[in-house]
Amino acid sequence: MSVTTDEAARAALRARQGPGYREDSPQAPARELLWARRGTAYFARVLGGLSDAELDAPSLLPGWSRRHVVAHVGYNARALTRLLEWARTGVETPMYASAEQRGAEIESGATLPARALRSLVAHAERHLDVEWRDLPGPAWEARVRTAQGRLVPVRETAWMRTREVWIHALDLDAGASTRDFPPELLGALLVDVPRMWRRREETVRLRLVPDGGDDVVLGDGGPTVSGSLPDLVRWLAGRGARGLTSSAGELPHLPRWF
């Protein structure tokens, strides 16, 4: 039986690490975990480029400073970790006690000293990654409840975290760009945004024409919006419009995403 390059690399890594080496279960969502981990590193790099004083500046999210964004990303990792613990133990552990508790947690976190705020994110993301790595294979299909009340397999936490770290890196307003996103991730986001709108029963009629890609029709079609895939995704995600053209002249108004 032939051995792939990836399998050989993993075998070599196991040999180097010795008996204490651990890796994701084969049942884990490998693609989404890779995106989440790369996005975690990307968010950390953007955050690392900001001075402590610069954390006080506004973010791209109305009413939130950069501090709020950082606190949210840290507490989101803790909330997703609770879902992993639910899947592993079978004991129901909600992401948040309530929407009010979630909001109060972010407001409180935004007041932490800069060093503590940075540590919150670093420690929370490491804990989440350990829970992902150590989750047994069958547990990846365990059903857990999101903050919006949806019952989903816990494997969806990898995609949930992917969106959080990549998109909120943009919200820090510190040089992050959708042009830095992996192309496959951009394609997945192009699917996810309209899916979220349909889930909330919000009708959007558009024809998207990515440069060099296939047209994407939302609803029964409407104004044509053209541009690069990174610019289209940035606009659909509600993070500003750059380099886009619309057959209607002005770009249509879009519902929020998440």
CATH architecture label of 183-246:
2-Layer Sandwich (3.30)
Q: Which has the minimum average pLDDT: 14-18, 97-101, 109-113, 180-184?
A: 14-18
Count of other CB atoms within 10 angstroms of residue 213: 15
Task: Give DSSP secondary structure letters for 125-142.
Answer: HHHHHHHHHH--GGGGG-
pLDDT in tens, 236-258: 999 999 999 999 889 999 999 88
Say how far apart CA 166 and CA 106 lie, in whole Å. 19
Which candidate, 60, 4, 52, 56, places its Cα nearest to that of 30? Answer: 4
- Report the DSSP beta bridge partners of residue 246: 225
Ramachandran class of 144: left when φ > 0, alpha when ψ lies in -120 to 50, beta otherwise: beta
- Residue 212 pLDDT: 85
| Predicted structure pTM score | 0.90
What amino acid is encoded at 166 in this protein?
W
Domain 22-176: give its CATH code.
Answer: 1.20.120.450
Cβ-proximal residues to 46 (8 Å cutoff; 6+ apart), any chain = 169, 172, 174, 175, 176
pLDDT in tens, 36-90: 999 999 999 999 999 999 999 999 999 999 999 999 999 999 999 999 999 999 9
- Residue 21 pLDDT: 60
Asked whether the predicted pLDDT for residue 4 surpasses 90, the reply is no
Work out the mean pLDDT of the chain and round it to a whole number.
92
Asked whether the predicted pLDDT for residue 235 surpasses 50, the reply is yes
Asked whether the predicted pLDDT for residue 20 surpasses 80, the reply is no
Tokens 């879009």 sit on residue: 254
- Residue 18 pLDDT: 57
Phi and psi torsions of 255, nearest 5°: -65, 165
Cβ(142)–Cβ(25) below 8 Å: no
* pLDDT band at residue 93 under the 50/70/90 scheme: very high
- In which residue ranges of the chain is CATH 1.20.120.450 found? 22-176
* pLDDT band at residue 1 under the 50/70/90 scheme: very low
Question: Which two structure tokens, joined as six digits, stand for 98?
Answer: 């309530």
- In which residue ranges of the chain is CATH 3.30.1050.20 found? 183-246
The 3-state DSSP class for residue 65 equals strand
Burial of 195 (0-12, 13-18, 19+ CB in 10 A): exposed
* Alpha carbon distance, N-terminus to C-terminus of the chain: 46
- Residue 11 pLDDT: 62
Say how far apart CA 227 and CA 209 lie, in whole Å. 7
Which candidate, 256, 42, 26, 28, places its Cα nearest to that of 159? Answer: 28
